[in-house]
Amino acid sequence: MHRHLKDIKLIVIDIDGTLVDVNGEVGEKSLSLAKELKKQSIYCTLSSARSYYYSSHIADELDIDIPFVTLDGALIKDRKGNTVYKGVINDKIIKKAIKFAENNYGKITMCDEDNMFITPRNAVVKEYTKLSAPVKEVIDFSAVKNILEVLIFCEDKASLRAIRDSFSFFDSLNVSLNVMKSPRNDYYLLTVKNRGSDKLTSVKRLVKYLKLTRKNVAVIGDWHNDMPLFDYGAYNIAVQNAIPELKRKADYVTRSTNNEDAVGEVLELVHNYNLNGSR
């Protein structure tokens, strides 16, 4: 790993399963070293599926001044509210998503920067998954604006396939569809966003905004949504508890898990190298 450390100026960190432990806490070593590295002009930032609301609390703890990536790439924004990218979905696509979900037994929710909106009909989604944003219940979605991500949950593959296929007729709408199965196999999830509102594209945007190159970047992750980011050509770091597929793509795998402050392990390596050089 050490020969790559001399070029690193930006460390892009996933939150859940990577930076925070099972209780949602950031390790003490990560907290202190992120601030020390900033004094050396090496900056930590975040790239997460979480909303801006929840990510900004972590950014506060780490004293991150530069923009960070939220909603898996749909928003890049700093703590002062300066926005680098915001992938607002067209209202026409929102209406189609609602129609496709209702016609195929799907349950739908959607997120803006800060909230996840649900209706009484779709309240069951709270039981499906760990929510990435505060929940705000509305009578219907008609008054909801500036949506960055639509999530459609289905209990069976046929319903999800029907919804996905319905969208396939509207390629000109500039949508990006992502399908995943829950770890417990109790639901399927279709995520609808603008094309280009993904982790990889938004990290590229951020790197360009900061006037860096990919050789200046290290990325740390653990899960399936980090896989495209590991194809960027930056220095790839998987935490010990990462999925096997991500570990195989990694340039370095930490000895520690997220519950043992794996990110702190990485930051310590970078910090020590910059103090002592290659000795």
SS3 assignment for the chain: CHHHHCCCCEEEECCECCCECCCCCECHHHHHHHHHHHHCCCEEEEECCCCHHHHHHHHHHHCCCCCEEEHHHCEEECCCCCEEEECCCCHHHHHHHHHHHHHCCCEEEEECCCCEEECHHHCCHHHHCCCCCCEEECCCCCCCCCCCEEEEEECCHHHHHHHHHHHHCCHHHCEEEEEEECCCCCCEEEEEEECCCCHHHHHHHHHHHCCCCHHHEEEEECCHHHCHHHHCCCEEEECCCCCHHHHHHCCEECCCCHHHCHHHHHHHHHHHHHHHCCC
Q: Are residues 81 and 30 both part of a single domain? A: yes
Same domain, 71 and 133: no
Q: Are the beta carbons of 239 and 218 closer than 8 angstroms?
A: no
Q: Distance between CA atoms of 189 and 192, rounded to whole angstroms?
A: 10
Range of the domain at 14: 2-86+197-276
Return the pLDDT at 32: 97
This prediction has a pTM of 0.92
Domain count, the chain: 2
pLDDT for residue 279: 41
- Which residue type, as a one-letter code, is found at position 136? K
Residues 6+ apart with CB under 8 A from 159: 104, 105, 106, 188
| pLDDT per position as a tens digit, 32-69 | 999 999 999 999 999 999 999 999 999 999 999 999 99
Q: Residue 129: give its domain's CATH number.
A: 3.30.1240.10
* Domain final position from 165, 194, 223: 194
Choosing from 145, 161, 194, the residue where a domain stops is: 194
| Listed residue (97, 76, 89) closest to 194, CA to CA | 89
> Do 183 and 244 fall into the same domain?
no
Do 79 and 149 belong together in one domain? no
Instruction: Answer yes or no: do 231 and 208 share one domain.
Output: yes
Q: What is the pLDDT of residue 167?
A: 85
pLDDT in tens, the chain (279 residues): 666 788 999 999 999 999 999 999 999 999 999 999 999 999 999 999 999 999 999 999 999 999 999 999 999 999 999 999 999 999 999 999 999 999 999 999 999 998 999 999 888 887 765 556 888 999 999 989 999 999 999 989 999 999 999 887 765 568 888 888 776 667 889 999 999 999 999 999 999 999 999 999 999 999 988 999 999 999 999 999 999 999 999 999 999 999 999 999 999 999 998 877 644
* Torsion sign (Cα): 151, 153, 157, 161: negative
Last residue of a domain, one of 173, 194, 215: 194
User: Do 78 and 210 reside in the same domain of the chain?
Assistant: yes
Same structural domain for residues 75 and 201? yes
